A = this chain, B = another copy of it.
Amino acid sequence: MQKLPDISHDFAAWYQEVIYQAELVDSSPVRGTMVIRPYGYAIWEHIKDTLDEKIKKTGHENASFPLFIPESFLKKEAKHVEGFAPELAIVTHAGGKELEEPLVVRPTSETMIHYMFARWIKSWRDLPLKINQWANVVRWELRPRAFLRTTEFFWQEGHTAHETVEQAREEVLLMLGEYVDLAQTYLAIPVITGQKTESERFPGAIETHTFEALMQDGKALQMGTSHLLSQSFAHAFEMQFQNREGQLAYPYLTSWGATTRLIGAVVMVHGDQKGLVIPPRIAPIQVVIVLILFKNKDNSAVIQAGAALERSLQDHGVRVRLDDDMQKSVGARLYYWEVRGVPIRIEIGPRDLEKNQASVTDRIGLKSESVSLDQLPLYVVAHLALIQATLFNRAHERMMSSWHKAAKLAVFGPILEKENGIYQTGWCGSADCERMLKQYKAFTRCLREEKTFDTCFNCDNDSLQDVLVAKAY
């Protein structure tokens, strides 16, 4: 294996290389798509299972809708089709014939699901209707990057319908809160929430709430979004219901999604020069037991101790892997687990065993010490929790120290362009001023409730509220 590129000098190259070396992905023969290898997919399964539980606990049900959407459906909501048209993949032939109406491979399923909602929602008693779908979607990408921006990606898309706009907005914020907990408690990634500006909204939404995180290179990543949709979707699909007053009304709709991009966020927030660092709560392997074995010697005591420890850790709910490889050098084995970011490594050899102990090292440099075998399981459980907390705190400190307040783009723009980071500033609300950010390769990330600045970062008009500005993925 070649050495990883320098993370502080060429973050992009480091990212590309570390995800291949750790076998999260492999390059695919179809441009822009991903082959997610077992280790990468196992991380996704942990994220998916965690989020799926949250979605179900908040009263949503999973369902499944077709991969293909008639082209005419997408055209029913003007802004929606305008937003997605350039990214569509289109099936024109099937079953040996040209199709009468081309089918779009879904870039998102609002139109298809709203078509079905219109059939299912007749009365206020059918509301709220709270559906989620785990699916693959396709958006043709000109500059693909594994996990971050790929032509095919995996996600969940929640779609709900409500009697009132207040209930719909409550749902939008409820699911945003679940996403924030997923990010902070499980991925150990601190996030900032807020509304997107009009130019950054989901096509067809009247409010897009985002949760954003800071990557180690000082760029922001949109981690996921939760939308209050325009009622034009309900109008487009004639989705009417009889309300409590007996009148026909249009429901208020939401949608919200999070994707395989979250894996990229974990890599970019926690990784270091030695490779990945996977937070324990989503780590497919939380602990690796590396047995120190010798050719032509009796290794049975070490092998037995390793197997006993493996069972004991499993009994304590720890996801553990036993490495008894005798083909590779110990150095190569340690490198193998290090680049994969396994939180805790336990080494057991004959000398450790004589003292009834093992050598424990964590991936993030907190501790490296000998621990007696009897105490190991509880030690490991406690230490995994400490690693999880430490990862969050480190990322949080990094985010706070990169979060600057600055009044005028002319001053902070050149600094941002060179040094990255998040800049909180004032904004008049005009798209013309917003566009000025592009000269420094920056974009608005989200609006903030507070108002710290009197005037806009660009013009001399009053600021309406603060806005966060950063370079972004």
Q: Which residues from chain A sit less than 8 Å from chain B, CB to CB?
A: 26, 28-30, 33-38, 41-42, 44-45, 61-70, 73, 85-96, 102-103, 105, 112, 115-116, 119-120, 125, 131, 135-136, 138, 140, 142, 152, 154, 327
Contact = CB atoms under 8 A, between A and B. Distances in A.
Contact of A34 (B38, B62, B66, B90): B66
A94 B89 contact: yes
17 contacts: A28-B65, A30-B68, A30-B70, A33-B66, A36-B64, A38-B61, A38-B131, A67-B136, A68-B152, A85-B96, A88-B94, A88-B96, A90-B94, A94-B140, A95-B140, A96-B140, A105-B105
Contacts of A36: 63-64
A459 B64 CA distance: 49
A42 B142 CA distance: 37
A44 B62 CA distance: 10
Given A93-B92, A105-B91, A66 B116 contact: no
Contact of A63 (B37, B93, B327): B37
Nearest to A130: B38
A69 to B, nearest CB: 7
B70 A29 contact: yes
Contacts of A112: 29
A85 B94 CA distance: 10
Q: What are the 4 A-B residue pairs with the smallest beta carbon separation, nearest first?
A: A95-B140, A38-B61, A33-B66, A89-B94
B91 A95 contact: no
Nearest to A96: B86
Contacts of A116: 26, 35
A28 B119 CA distance: 11
A151 to B, nearest CB: 8
A96 B231 CA distance: 28
A418 to B, nearest CB: 33
Given A61-B42, A105-B105, A116-B35, A28 B95 contact: no
Contacts of A95: 86-89, 140, 142
A172 to B, nearest CB: 21
Report which residue of A66, A68, A115, A138 has the largest number of chain B beta carbons within 10 angstroms of its beta carbon. A66
B28 A66 contact: yes
A91 B152 CA distance: 13
B33 A68 contact: yes
Contacts of A30: 66, 68-70, 103
A90 B93 contact: yes
A93 to B, nearest CB: 4
A345 B30 CA distance: 52
Contact of A38 (B33, B35, B44, B62): B62
A362 to B, nearest CB: 25
A295 B375 CA distance: 61
Given A30-B69, A67-B138, A86-B96, 20 more contacts: A30-B70, A33-B68, A34-B64, A35-B66, A36-B63, A38-B61, A38-B131, A41-B63, A42-B61, A66-B152, A67-B105, A67-B152, A68-B89, A85-B96, A86-B95, A89-B103, A90-B91, A90-B94, A91-B105, A94-B140
A61 B37 CA distance: 9
Contacts of A102: 93
Contacts of A34: 64, 66
A152 to B, nearest CB: 5
A103 to B, nearest CB: 7
Contacts of A89: 68, 91, 93-95, 103
Report which residue of A30, A115, A119, A138 has the largest number of chain B beta carbons within 10 angstroms of its beta carbon. A30
A54 to B, nearest CB: 16
A115 B27 CA distance: 11
Contact of A62 (B29, B45, B65, B68): B45
A370 B250 CA distance: 47
A126 to B, nearest CB: 12
A122 to B, nearest CB: 14
Report which residue of A28, A64, A88, A95 has the largest number of chain B beta carbons within 10 angstroms of its beta carbon. A64
A141 B70 CA distance: 17
A38 B55 CA distance: 13
A336 to B, nearest CB: 14
